[in-house]
Structure 1
Amino acid sequence: MKNKSVRYILIFLVVLVWGTIAYKLFSYVNSDEDEIVSQNIPKQKNEQNTVSDTFQLASNYRDPFLGKGNNSNNQNGNPNNQKVIKIVKQKEIPKVEKTIINWPKFSYQGIITNQKSKNQTGLLKINGKDFIIYQGNVINEVEINKLFNDSVIVKYAGELKTIFKIK
Structure 2
Amino acid sequence: MTKNKIKTYALSIVVIAIWSVIGYQIYSALNPSDNPFIVPKAPTEFKSELGNQKETFNILNNYRDPFLGKLPEKKDKPEAKLTSMPVVRDTIIFPVIEYRGTVQSAEAKQTVFSVSVNGTEAILSAGESIQEVTLVRGNASEISISFKGKRKVIKK
Tell me the TM-score range normalised by the shorter chain: 0.3 to 0.5
Q: When the two structures are superposed, what TM-score results if normalisation uses the length of structure 1?
A: 0.41
Name which one, 1 or 2, has greater alpha-carbon Rg. Answer: 2
